[in-house]
Structure 1
């Protein structure tokens, strides 16, 4: 039996994961903004479900909530940073308040959640962190610039943290789902005000995807959650977990193009080094050399 801490269990991946884990006999400490959204789970699973109200934009409440969860559950094996949403629209279209809220929720909130959990995981000798990102953490789609800013940002943060905390027995996995029937498009996505000039921009395509409810998502939400749960048994923890055929194909295309562009600049990049450095130590040296 494991104990899990999951943010955003009212809907989507968080809700499905909580249901599956509780049904399997595990314990869950879950957060959500409206506690009543989990009344049915609480009635069914009782003390195996600990609940707290948490809005990730209230960053000063994150650490006390994490501390309270650890105190109540004694040990938490897996932290799932799941809560988040998408802000859609061209960079010029979205409002300043929308920009701030997107970054506060998806990026700063996720960062502070992980920072709050790490002292507990070190003290107990290990654990696992699952950071829910998306294919949007590796791919750039016009009309999603602020969403990508948060997902690319949290992926850089988590990839670094993974290297910092592996010595403590803490594993980190960045989950990159493609489109699934989570309610992201039909409920939680926020669209900025539309500027008519952008009707000719490729950024408008993302608006059409949200507007047209008949467009189906290829990913199976339940299968994706099963894969996330199963990844916790892998040792070492997979750094990334791409889920969905669209995630795999879009990320492959993006990384292949990026690598080709980088390779074409090799001669230029090397030509800008200082001369006569000899065997002097480099400012950064990875474990691989």
Structure 2
């Protein structure tokens, strides 16, 4: 076992080969920390390995393999003596109405967005509790709070991850948790190999059709800058009072604010009926 210099934090980042995970890994490496970069195709990290040979450790990982997830966490601690930050960044776009989405498609998405991150987090917590410190950064989405036709399965996985993480923030006081909720950023999530589209049914052309078209044609038009997102995450983590949820992008902020307003209005409208369900004294 080797132990890093005390001023270097050890990060384990899944999805480090592209998108937000890649941008965050690059920023962390520039700051001098150690990154265990996990992805299915580690050759996509060759350029970073060449630039930071003493800081970047590429690791092959498919996060849907939960047994391997736990092993990667333990191997990281064994090699470096600690794990300071776990970033669950692996993910993909999925579009399909419920009737269009097969059971296998939905189960895979939950394995990728929920069960994988849950397994990695569960494996990291004992090490972080023993250290008395640590961070878990969960990449959710504006879809973790705001839904859209065709994103039902995707949003369900993000809602689940957010519910788990909010509970963990109350269960494990030694560890800090950050839920990142990006809007539309110029990553590869809408790319040919990243976005997954369930087979369409004509009955959903009017509701899901626009979402499907946006995902197929919207790549490269998103307003968000992944580099600025990575820096915003690091700024939030270094704050004296870090948030539990960090919403990134004006589009995401506007949509979540709209949702909260609708919830407030609906709660007020039906509050009397809801309260009038107690047992009569």
**TM-score w.r.t. length of structure 2:** 0.93
| Equivalent residue runs for 1:239-258 within 5 Å | 239-258=244-263
Tell me how far apart the structure 2 counterparts of residues 275 and 127 of structure 1 sit (CA, whole Å).
49
Runs of 4+ in structure 1 deviating by more than 6 angstroms, as ranges, are none
Partner residue of 1:238 out of 233, 240, 243: 243
1:150 pairs with one of 157, 170, 180: 157
Measured after TM superposition, the shift of residue 215 of structure 1 is: 6.5
> Of 212, 230, 234, which residue of structure 2 is paired with 1:225?
230
SS in 2 for 1:250: helix
Q: Please give the residue correspondences for 1:137-176 in structure 2 after superposition, counting only pairs within 5 Å.
A: 137-166=144-173, 168=174, 170-176=175-181
What are the superposed Cα offsets for residues 42-93 of structure 1, whole Å, 9 maximum, x if unpaired? 1221131122111111111111111101111212221111111121111111
Matched, 1:17 2:39: no
* C-alpha RMSD over aligned residues: 1.3
Structure 2 vs 1, CA of residues 161 and 207 (structure 1 numbering), >3 Å: closer, same or farther? same
Contact residue 209 and residue 215 of structure 1 kept, 8 A: no
- Listed as ranges, the gaps of 5+ residues in structure 2 are 1-7
- Tell me, yes or no, if the aligned pair for 1:50 and 1:69 is still in contact at 8 Å: no
Note if 1:270 corresponds to 2:278: no
User: For 2:72, which of 51, 65, 74 is the aligned residue?
Assistant: 65
Q: Structure 2 CA distance, aligned partners of 1:263 and 1:48?
A: 53
Alignment check: 8 A CA contact 2:191 2:219 kept: no
1:4 partnered with 2:11? yes
Q: 2:186–2:219: 8 Å Cα contact kept in structure 1?
A: no
Matched with 1:281 is none
Mapped to 2, the partners of 1:214 and 1:175 lie a distance apart of: 21
Q: Select 1:178's aligned residue among 180, 183, 192.
A: 183
The 1-side partners of 2:123 and 2:242 are apart by: 20
1:214 positional shift = 6.5
* In 1: Cα distance, 2:228 partner to 2:73 partner: 28
- For residues 242 and 280 of structure 2, what CA distance do their matches in structure 1 show? 41
Match 2:119 to one of 79, 99, 112: 112
Aligned pair in 2 of structure 1 residues 215, 232: CA closer, same or farther (>3 Å)? Answer: closer
Describe the SS at the equivalent of 2:52: helix
Write out per-residue CA displacement over residues 104-151 of structure 1, whole angstroms, 9 at most, x where no aligned residue: 100111111111111110010111111110100000101100000000
8 Å CA contact 1:86, 1:102 repeated in 2: no
| Count of residues in Structure 1 that have an aligned counterpart in Structure 2 | 273
8 Å contact kept, 1:171–1:236 = no
Given that residues 178 and 247 in structure 1 are in contact (C-alpha distance below 8 angstroms), is that contact kept between their aligned partners in structure 2? yes
**Does structure 1 conserve the Cα–Cα contact (< 8 Å) formed by 2:188 and 2:219?**
no
CA contact (8 A) 1:22 1:28 kept: yes
Displacement of 1:213: 4.2
1:88 alignment counterpart:
95
Deviates more, 1:205-214 or 1:106-115: 205-214
- 1:193 maps to 199
3-state secondary structure, aligned to 2:64: coil
- 1:260 counterpart = 2:265: yes
